């Protein structure tokens, strides 16, 4: 299979062209013949013009590539090596939503042939590839996994906005259903990953490795958030404490904050779900999730108390929220926990304006039901700098004073302006 791909006698298909699938498809397309498959025609139209709908890649990333973007199953049938990279979100009850993965698997199964390979990149709980996806591939195609076709798992490590640890220079975990599959999958990924691959002993290990990468970060951030709540009651600044503690050589540098997006704020729930199936209740992981999911409400209530302390009338108080994306310097608003702050403040009757240099107002409206403010006012009772966008870091107190009315509060969630605010009432996590 590997030799056929390299000689372009066989094609590789990327199923799902989002933050994960598109960069991978373009990387392969510099060496192999690639089919980029997605069900969203609007996104495909942009890609055909050399535009990344996610806004992560420059137009130059599309140059010199052998790739065809399509939503046609007939075209997908031409591929012999399939990589599935669709989202794996959670539902309203924090349960894994495998519907995109199941749908994509059905599509691949419809075009699967003897000798083909199927590799999953989507983040799942250990066992999902073999217990949930493989039966679909077999039942729909009529083929036997491991005998008629090979399958494997190679978890994505794409980090939106990341400019250092990118796909070409980040070690890739790979796994296969048997030794032959592992060898081929490893060879294929080694074409686009310079540091090489780590061969996991089996598929479940590869799935578990991915899920704990973000679970570990989630738990550590939850600890920082809990410490922030404690330190706030003591009356000391969390960032001052972390700066002092960070002088010890083995102190891990995590910071408090909102945990949103489609990785850290989602992946731990997949592990919790699997553990529950095995009759085990995750105490630390679930506790961390509870703390992090509660931070938006905590921040909003903290601001309300500070406004009351200043003699402000909460009903109709004006608050500017700066930043709504799930992290700094990206346009992605999926699972943004800034929204939790906004909705909590709205429940108190607060008048909210929202700005963000990266987010698209129509997308915010579509996802959350409110739009961005084109031009901020100059009569705010409080300003919340919720995301540490680079363009915010150089702002000074005079900038905020021009937009505030009377005695006002500045909430600095990421500690950007620590020791730089003297007139406004200042608070950070």
Q: For the chain, report the end-to-end CA distance as a whole number of angstroms.
A: 53
* Bridge partners for 176 per DSSP: 152
Strand 380-385 relative to strand 172-176: parallel, antiparallel, unpaired?
A: unpaired
* Bridge partners for 197 per DSSP: 172
**DSSP label at 259?**
-
Residue 172's pLDDT is what? 95
Fold of 2-201: Rossmann fold (3.40.50)
Residue 71's H or E segment, with its range, is none
pTM metric for this prediction: 0.92
Q: Which of helix, strand or coil describes residue 395? A: coil
User: Is residue 169 classed exposed, middle or buried when 0-12, 13-18 and 19+ CB atoms within 10 A define those classes?
Assistant: exposed
CATH number for region 220-427: 3.40.50.720
Q: How far is CA 198 from CA 58, 172, 173, 174, 343, in A?
A: 29, 6, 5, 6, 43
- Catalytic, 133? Answer no
Q: Which residues, other chains included, contact 72 with Cβ-Cβ below 8 Å and sequence gap of 6+? A: none
Q: Cα dihedral sign for 382, 386, 392, 394?
A: positive
Tokens at 386, concatenated: 């919720």
Residue 58's pLDDT is what? 87
Buried-exposed string 243-278: b where 16+ CB fall within 10 A, e elsewhere: eeeeeeeeeeebbbbbbbbbbbbbbbbbbbbbbeee
Q: Cα dihedral sign for 272, 278, 279, 284?
A: negative
Q: Which of helix, strand or coil describes residue 26? A: helix
CA 132, distance to chain mean position in Å, is 23
Report d(CA 5, CA 85) in Å as an integer.
19
Walk along the chain (429 residues) and give the pLDDT tens digit of each residue.
889 999 999 999 999 999 999 999 999 999 999 999 999 999 999 999 999 998 888 899 999 999 999 999 999 999 999 999 999 999 989 999 999 999 999 999 999 999 999 999 999 999 999 999 999 999 999 999 999 999 999 999 887 776 777 888 999 999 999 999 999 999 999 999 999 999 999 999 999 999 999 999 999 999 999 999 999 999 999 999 999 999 999 999 999 999 988 889 999 999 999 999 999 999 999 999 999 999 999 999 999 999 999 999 999 999 999 999 999 999 999 899 999 999 999 999 999 999 999 999 999 999 999 999 999 999 999 999 999 999 999 999 999 999 998 899 999 999 999 999 999 999 999
Residue 261's pLDDT is what? 84
* Bridge partners for 198 per DSSP: 173
Annotated catalytic residue within 54, 133, 263, 282 = 263
- CATH 3.40.50.720 domain range(s) in the chain: 2-201, 220-427
Report d(CA 383, CA 37) in Å as an integer.
43
């Amino acid at each position: 299979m590997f030799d056929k791909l390299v000689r372009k006698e066989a094609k590789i298909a990327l199923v799902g062209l989002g933050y994960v699938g598109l960069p991978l498809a373009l990387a392969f397309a510099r060496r192999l013949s690639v089919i980029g498959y997605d069900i969203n025609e609007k996104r495909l139209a942009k890609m055909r013009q050399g535009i990344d709908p996610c806004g992560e890649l420059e137009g130059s990333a599309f140059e010199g590539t052998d790739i065809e973007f399509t939503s046609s199953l007939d075209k997908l049938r031409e591929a012999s090596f399939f990589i599935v990279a669709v989202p794996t979100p959670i539902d309203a009850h924090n349960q894994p939503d495998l519907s995109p993965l199941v749908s994509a698997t059905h599509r691949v199964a419809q075009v699967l042939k003897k000798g083909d390979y199927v590799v999953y990149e989507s983040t799942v709980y250990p066992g999902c590839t073999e217990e949930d996806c493989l039966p679909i591939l077999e039942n729909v195609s009529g083929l036997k996994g491991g005998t008629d076709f090979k399958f494997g798992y190679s978890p994505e490590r794409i980090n939106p906005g990341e400019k250092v640890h990118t796909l070409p220079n980040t070690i890739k975990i790979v796994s296969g259903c048997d030794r032959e599959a592992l060898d081929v999958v490893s060879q294929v990924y080694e074409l686009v990953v310079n540091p090489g691959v780590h061969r996991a002993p089996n598929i479940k290990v590869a799935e578990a490795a991915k899920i704990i990468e973000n679970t570990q970060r989630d738990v550590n951030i939850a600890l920082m958030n809990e410490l922030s709540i404690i330190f706030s009651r003591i009356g000391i600044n969390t960032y001052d404490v972390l700066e002092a503690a960070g002088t010890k050589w083995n102190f891990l540098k995590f910071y408090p904050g909102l945990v949103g997006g489609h990785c850290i704020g989602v992946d731990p729930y997949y592990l919790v779900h699997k553990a529950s199936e095995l009759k085990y209740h995750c105490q630390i992981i679930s506790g961390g999730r509870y703390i992090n999911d509660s931070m938006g409400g905590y921040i909003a209530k903290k601001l309300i108390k500070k406004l009351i302390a200043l003699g402000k009338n909460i009903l109709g108080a004006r608050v500017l929220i700066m930043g709504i994306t799930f992290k700094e310097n990206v346009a992605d608003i999926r699972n943004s926990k800034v929204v939790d702050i906004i909705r909590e403040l709205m429940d108190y009757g607060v008048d909210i304006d929202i700005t963000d240099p990266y987010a698209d107002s129509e997308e915010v409206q579509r996802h959350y039901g409110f739009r961005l403010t084109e031009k901020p006012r100059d009569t705010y009772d409080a300003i919340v700098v919720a995301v540490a966008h680079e363009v915010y870091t150089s702002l000074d107190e005079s900038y905020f004073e021009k937009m505030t009315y009377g005695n006002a509060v500045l909430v600095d969630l990421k500690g950007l302006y620590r020791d730089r605010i003297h007139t406004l009432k200042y608070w950070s996590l």
